[in-house]
Structure formats: structure tokens, C-alpha cells
């Protein structure tokens, strides 16, 4: 039997074929996923992993798609969404155990309701806990790695593992998960007791700052990592790139480190714009910008 037919037998929610990834990314860009699967149980997930291993099918784990540029040719193999599988969270003492699919904004809100502080920095960072752990998401001097105490993963052979803090490795926008073939299932975060009013003031202040600084058009957040001792957005601005565009992809006139999709931008437009910006920053400062967003998938036919 071919693997796509077997997959249909495994999954209780029928997998989608040629699903446009533009529907699943905050940039609203991306060619089709060959197969888009949303397992409903851990057993279903494990069976998908076994099938992918047996037929050598590439896998891509999608969070909420807020840090991704999917190329125009789309993604071969299976895109796995944990949206329905790991979207619960439960609090115990100062800790919360949350599924990888839970949104950071929900966690921020739930923690605040329980007078638990520590997550305020994440107010307004879109995306899932899984994506945040994978990327070591952070803002305003804090990052998720400071709170994490344990992460539950499953490897591509289907083995579930509980990884304690000592086995986790994080640095600026980087985690050990980036060099492993694992799926993050859930994480345990440790927060501190706080004062509800103070927590909410901080959350609201951060959200206000974001709203005033960040463009409202579709984007994937910061495109470039901050080079040591520098701020990527300032370098882009200093090199005269704000407002520069290719097709309908534009370096936001509001924030130098955001590339926005003004309508029908393609991934190729964004990638060409990125190259232009890198060249200008190189010419102006002699510095090489590195990408923070993750670029995946196949080139389009253009």
C-alpha cells in the first residue's frame, strides 16, 4: 500500500493534501504541504512517526507558524501539527505543565489569573510553547529558558522522554532541540508568586510597547538575529533599508527588523529582499547578518 493510503487509516482526522502553508504562517506566505496531518492522540502521532520512518518520509513539525518562511515550492513529506494533541495546561503550585500546542498568550493570561509572575515578557509574542522552547523565544531581557524545568519529547522512532533541566541547553534564540530529531510534546515552567495588579500592569505595558513598535501587516517577527553588541533593526535602518521592497515584500518603514507582506508577496520576494538588506548592511558596517526566522521548503518554479 502507498504511504498516503496508510496514513489515512492511521489518522482519525483525515490528512490534507497539498495544503497551502500560507494558511498556516503569520507571513501568509508558503507553498503547499504535500501532506498536512493533525494527530488526535499520542498513539496516532507515534504511528505517523513509525510510518514516516518505514517509508523514509521527511517530517516537519509546525507550531503556530509565526517564525517561518516557507518557500514557494512548499514542503515535501508530512507537516505535523500538534494543535489538537497537546493544547492543555495545568497549574500545580508555582509551576505549570503545558502542551506544546498551547499559545504563549494563553499561558501569560492563565499565569496572571493565578497571580504567578515571570511570563510577562512573553505577552504579545505570538506562537506556541513548543515553538518558543525550540526557538528559546524571548523579549525585554528575558527568555523562556529561564523558566523551563522539564520538557517531554518524542523522537522520530516514537520514544517518549522526559528531559530534566540538566539535559537542556539554551542560548540566544537557540536550543538543543534545533540539532535533534525530536518533537516537543510538553514543558514544565516554574513561575513566582506575584501581585496581580503589578503583573497585569507589566503585561499591558509590554503589549502597548509592542503595538506602537510593531507593524500590523503580516510578518514573521524579527528577521535577523541581533549580532553580538548590536541591534539588527538599527543596522538595517542605518544601512538605509527601511521601506525597501521586492514585489510585495517590504522592510517595514516602522521597524527595520521586520519584513512585511503587503498583499501577495512570494517567499522568493522575501528571500531576494533579505539578500539586498544583507548586502547593504555588509557594505555599510562590514557585518554579516544571520537569519532568526527559519526558512524551509522547496524553491518555487520561478
Q: Which residues are catalytic?
A: 173, 222, 292
List the Cα angle 284/288/291 in 5-degree steps: 125
Counting other chains too, the contacts that 40-43 makes at CB distance below 8 Å and 24 or more residues apart are 40/11, 40/12, 40/13, 40/84, 40/85, 41/12, 41/85, 42/85, 42/154, 42/160, 42/185
**Should residue 220 be labelled a site residue for ligand FAD when binding is judged by CB under 6 A?**
yes
Q: Which of 134, 151, 152, 255: binder of ligand FAD (CB under 6 A)?
A: 134
Q: Which is nearer to ligand FAD, 149 or 193 (CB)?
A: 149
Q: Which of 21, 49, 62, 152: binder of ligand FAD (CB under 6 A)?
A: 62
**Should residue 75 be labelled a site residue for ligand FAD when binding is judged by CB under 6 A?**
no
The 99-118 site mask, x for binding ligand FAD (CB under 6 A), equals -x------------------
**Should residue 130 be labelled a site residue for ligand FAD when binding is judged by CB under 6 A?**
yes
**Should residue 26 be labelled a site residue for ligand FAD when binding is judged by CB under 6 A?**
yes
Question: Residues 32, 21: contact at Cβ < 8 Å?
Answer: yes
Q: Strand 294-296 vs strand 68-70: parallel, antiparallel, or unpaired?
A: parallel
What is the nearest approach in angstroms of ligand FAD to the Cβ of residue 263? 17
Q: How many CB atoms lie within 10 A of CB 68?
A: 24
Residue 191: helix, strand or coil by DSSP? coil
What is the nearest approach in angstroms of ligand FAD to the Cβ of residue 7? 19
**Should residue 127 be labelled a site residue for ligand FAD when binding is judged by CB under 6 A?**
yes
Q: Which of 83, 97, 109, 214: binder of ligand FAD (CB under 6 A)?
A: 214
Q: How many CB atoms lie within 10 A of CB 56?
A: 8
Amino acid at each position: 500500500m502507498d504511504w498516503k493510503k496508510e496514513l489515512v487509516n492511521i489518522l482519525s482526522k483525515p490528512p490534507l493534501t497539498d495544503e497551502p502553508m500560507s494558511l498556516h504562517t503569520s507571513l501568509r506566505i508558503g507553498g503547499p504541504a504535500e501532506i498536512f496531518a493533525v494527530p488526535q492522540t499520542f498513539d496516532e502521532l507515534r504511528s505517523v512517526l513509525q510510518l514516516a520512518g518505514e517509508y523514509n518520509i521527511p517530517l516537519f513539525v509546525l507550531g503556530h507558524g509565526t517564525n517561518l518562511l516557507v518557500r514557494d515550492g512548499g514542503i515535501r513529506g508530512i507537516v505535523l501539527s500538534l494543535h489538537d494533541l497537546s493544547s492543555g495546561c495545568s497549574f500545580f503550585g508555582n509551576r505549570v505543565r503545558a502542551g506544546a500546542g498551547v499559545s504563549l498568550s494563553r499561558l501569560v493570561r492563565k499565569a496572571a489569573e493565578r497571580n504567578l509572575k515571570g511570563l510577562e515578557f512573553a505577552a504579545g509574542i505570538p506562537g506556541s510553547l513548543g515553538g518558543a522552547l525550540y526557538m528559546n523565544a524571548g523579549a525585554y531581557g528575558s527568555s523562556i529558558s529561564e523558566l523551563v524545568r522539564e520538557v517531554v519529547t518524542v523522537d522520530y522512532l516514537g520514544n517518549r522522554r522526559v528531559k530534566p533541566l540538566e539535559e537542556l541547553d539554551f542560548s540566544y534564540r537557540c536550543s538543543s532541540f534545533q540539532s535533534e530529531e525530536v518533537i516537543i510534546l510538553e514543558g514544565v515552567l516554574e513561575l513566582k508568586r506575584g501581585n496581580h495588579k503589578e503583573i497585569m500592569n507589566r503585561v499591558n505595558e509590554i503589549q502597548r510597547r509592542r503595538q506602537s513598535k510593531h507593524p500590523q501587516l503580516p510578518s514573521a517577527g524579527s528577521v535577523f538575529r541581533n549580532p553580538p553588541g548590536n541591534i539588527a533593526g538599527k543596522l538595517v535602518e542605518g544601512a538605509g533599508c527601511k521601506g525597501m521592497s521586492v514585489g510585495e515584500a517590504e522592510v517595514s518603514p516602522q521597524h527595520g527588523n521586520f519584513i512585511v507582506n503587503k498583499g501577495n508577496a512570494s517567499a522568493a520576494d522575501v528571500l531576494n529582499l533579505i539578500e539586498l538588506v544583507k548586502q547593504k548592511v555588509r557594505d555599510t558596517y562590514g557585518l554579516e547578518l544571520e537569519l532568526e526566522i527559519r526558512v524551509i521548503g522547496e524553491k518555487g518554479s520561478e
